[in-house]
Amino acid sequence: MVDGGFYRRRAYARLGDKSPKERADELESYCKRHLNEKIYGIQTSHRLYRIFYYDCLPVSKNIYNLLTKKQVDLSKTDTYKWATEFFDFLKEKRKFTLRYGQLAEVQAHYSLTEKAFKKLCNGAIKFEDLEEKDCILQIEQKGVDMRIGLDIASLAYKKQVDQIVLISGDSDFVSAAKLARREV
């Protein structure tokens, strides 16, 4: 099970920028490496039930940027194009299941980066000095964590798997993981 938002941020930070196909291939390879392990010195191979990938489809609406005083059509951004292609490549892969949450489009807004905000507060820059790169788009995910937790519980209760590998940086899944460990 892969928390997509977490994986994409970490992969970008650790492995750099890649094309959607390269990132999809990298994810598949990374997940499949977990199928082989040594247990008490004996090489063991596990069967793969499925790779669940959880994420949100990119937003395609227009959002007003207060700093630039312009409408931004998110469906025409590089981020939108990259994410759409990435999901298309994942859909083509065998044993991959994509589970989508929603983005809270209504609350989407631009805000200052932490770095720009600190500079503004300590007087290092003035409001007039702010640039477009000092603003970032804030959109919150809804439903992704819940789907992961429900799938963990469901797979464990139904005894469909005997091992779950979870790729996430969220401690909210500790309870679901404990439940799965007791049930499997």
Reading the block at residue 98, the tokens are 């994509």
The pLDDT score that the predictor gives to residue 13 is 96
The pLDDT score that the predictor gives to residue 68 is 83
The pLDDT score that the predictor gives to residue 70 is 86
> Dihedral, CA atoms, 54, 59, 60, 64, nearest 10 degrees?
-170
Per-residue pLDDT of the chain (184 residues; tens, 9 = 90+): 999 999 999 999 999 999 999 999 999 999 999 999 888 999 989 999 999 999 999 988 888 888 888 888 989 999 999 999 999 999 999 999 999 998 887 888 888 899 999 998 998 988 888 888 888 888 888 889 999 999 999 999 999 998 999 999 988 888 888 888 888 7
Tell me the residue length of the chain.
184
Strand extents, DSSP E, the chain: 2-3, 36-39, 42-45, 51-56, 62-65, 70-73, 96-103, 109-112, 135-138, 141-142
Partnered with residue 100 across adjacent β-strands are 55
